């Protein structure tokens, strides 16, 4: 009996450790993607890594003397070293391609601090909507993280664990995001609200932090100067949470789920803005430390 209790406690402790590792892993993944976005904006048109010269390694070895067996150990070692270096070079080339992607692929549509806000027309709004909903890496990473938290908590319990349960939780989270962003974009278009995040033109950590927090609750109207409450954003968050009750097995109260959606937008939206505000600066610092170009203000912006 005692041995069974000890094994049960160890199993529970292991399950807690695995859940914690999942949460921290997704946090690191999200932070890494945002840092890559900042760095790729700082580097701009980076040069491709040079391909190592393997001509000396592949040169034929001197022939062995008569009566002696040729020594092939050097060739074998050189061949394995060449294959290893080629794999490293290919990996570096892949990383370089990712780093040279536009920052919008990671952060979504944003307005740099050195650009003035200009009202968007309907085609431009459609472009921003598609980019924010389907073509932004951070959007997927946020839903992967949220699904990981749900997986660690075991909610909904009917979806079970493993990759199957995680896939259902991710699909649920991303479905809610699509609904929310679609309704938000439609409301912003009707009211003439600005759908993009504008980097703060201020200086200093706390002023920029206040800007990031405040912009989660207000946006600009068609004048791009007057601030208005983010009514479409929070109505869409409530609607997406309420509609999720149609496919989540444990969700029977749409009002409660909608309220959870509003709270999630208030909390995670502020954190997302803060990360977006400082990601480019962190990328510039990393680029300078590794011999990159001198970082200035962010220069990439959504194409109009």
Q: What is the mean pLDDT of residues 17-31?
A: 44
pLDDT (0 to 100) of residue 285: 77
| Phi then psi dihedrals of residue 272, to 5 deg | -65, -45
| Higher-pLDDT residue of 69, 276 | 276
| Higher-pLDDT residue of 218, 74 | 218
> What are the residue ranges spanned by the domains of the chain?
2-43+97-289
pLDDT (0 to 100) of residue 106: 64
Partner residues linked to 72 by β-bridges: none
Of 53-57, 223-227, 270-274, which range is least confident?
53-57
SS (H, E, C) 183-237: HHHHHHHHHCCCCCEECCCCCCHHHHHHHHHHCCCEEECCCCCCEEECHHHHHHH
Average pLDDT, the chain: 75
What are the tens digits of pLDDT across the range 174-195? 999 999 999 999 999 999 999 9
| Higher-pLDDT residue of 85, 11 | 85
- C-alpha span between 37 and 44 (Å, rounded): 11
Partner residues linked to 219 by β-bridges: 228
Helix or strand or coil: residue 95? helix
What are the tens digits of pLDDT across the range 266-280? 999 999 999 989 988
Partner residues linked to 220 by β-bridges: 227
Tokens read off for 205? 């950590």
CA nearest to 154, candidates 4, 22, 9, 246: 22
What are the tens digits of pLDDT across the range 240-249? 999 999 999 9
pLDDT (0 to 100) of residue 81: 55
Q: Cα dist. 62→72, 74, 138, 245 in Å?
A: 11, 11, 55, 75
């Amino acid at each position: 009996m005692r041995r069974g209790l000890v094994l049960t406690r160890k199993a529970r402790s292991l399950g807690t450790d695995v859940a914690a590792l999942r949460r921290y892993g997704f946090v690191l993944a999200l932070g890494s993607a945002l840092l890559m976005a900042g760095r790729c904006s700082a580097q701009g048109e980076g040069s491709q890594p040079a391909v190592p010269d393997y001509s000396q390694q592949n040169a034929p070895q001197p022939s062995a003397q008569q009566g002696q067996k040729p020594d092939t150990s050097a060739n074998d070692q050189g061949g394995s070293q060449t294959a290893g270096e080629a794999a490293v070079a290919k990996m570096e080339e892949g990383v370089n391609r990712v780093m040279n992607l536009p920052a919008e692929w990671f952060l979504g549509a944003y307005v740099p601090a050195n650009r003035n806000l200009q009202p968007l027309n309907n085609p431009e709004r459609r472009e921003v909507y598609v980019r924010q909903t389907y073509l932004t890496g951070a959007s997927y990473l946020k839903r992967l993280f949220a699904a990981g938290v749900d997986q660690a908590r075991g909610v909904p319990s009917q979806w079970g664990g493993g990759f199957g349960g995680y896939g259902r939780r991710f699909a649920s989270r991303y479905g809610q995001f699509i609904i929310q962003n679609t309704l938000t974009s439609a409301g912003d278009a009707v009211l003439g609200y600005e759908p993009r995040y504008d980097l703060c033109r201020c200086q200093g950590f706390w002023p920029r932090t206040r800007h990031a927090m405040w912009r989660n609750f207000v946006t600009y109207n068609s004048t791009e100067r007057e601030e208005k409450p983010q009514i479409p954003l929070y109505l869409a968050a409530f609607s997406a949470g309420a509609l999720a009750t149609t496919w989540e097995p444990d969700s029977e109260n749409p009002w409660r789920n909608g309220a959870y959606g509003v709270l999630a937008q208030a909390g995670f939206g502020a954190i997302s803005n803060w990360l977006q505000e400082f990601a480019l600066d962190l990328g510039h610092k990393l680029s300078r430390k590794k011999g990159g170009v001198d970082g200035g203000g962010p220069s990439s912006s959504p194409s109009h």
